[in-house]
A = this chain, B = another copy of it.
Amino acid sequence: MVATLGTRARILDVTSRLMMRQGYEGTAVKQIATEARVALSSVYHFFPGGKQELATAAVRHADEHFAQMLRDALATKDDPADAVVALAWVVAEYLRDSGWQDGCPITATALETLGRIPPIQQAVEEAFERWRGLVAEKFQLAGIAEQEARDLAHTVISTLEGAELAAQVSRSAEPMTIAGRHLSRLVNTYR
């Protein structure tokens, strides 16, 4: 049913965008319904588990979307150090284009619900694990040993995550470009 998929997808899109900017508690179900041009009852029709189920699904939705962005950015360069710089650059563009309003799509929701809404925390954990996996895979293909590649991926994701926040707060791409430069330097020490 095309209309069904369209409506459901629209709800998820709006939810992940709003929760990215306002967090979990700061986003009302009514606002989601309004901005998605959908009846409030439809939200509960598609997500009978209510706000928690909706938020969990939105985290997974954003996870896939962000992972695709990472894949595309990593694929533009063969050299792992160059790829990391490209990663930082793509993310920086994405932040700037939103007027520094958008950042990591799940961080705000994650921080608010940590230890209080387990299904959301698990979805966040899986998202981070997937993103690290993409980076680690790139490093291994470039000849970096498995354990080192995994550890590097940890730091790459952590650093980008923190730099995103710093860039948003200061409304400047500088934290991202600096992070990209330092990360590529770090990666280069492993070959």
Chain A residues close to B by CB (< 8 Å): 21-26, 99-101, 103, 107-108, 110-112, 114-116, 121, 124-125, 128, 151-152, 154-155, 157-163, 165-166, 168-170, 174-175, 178-179, 181-183, 185-186, 189
Contacts and interface: CB of A to CB of B under 8 A. Distances in A.
B189 A166 contact: no
A64 to B, nearest CB: 18
Q: How many copies does the complex hold?
A: 2
Contacts of A125: 169-170
Top 4 A-B pairs ranked by shortest CB distance?
A158-B162, A162-B162, A161-B162, A25-B26
A25 B185 CA distance: 39
Nearest to A108: B111
A26 B120 CA distance: 15
Nearest to A122: B169
A75 to B, nearest CB: 23
A40 B182 CA distance: 48
Nearest to A163: B158
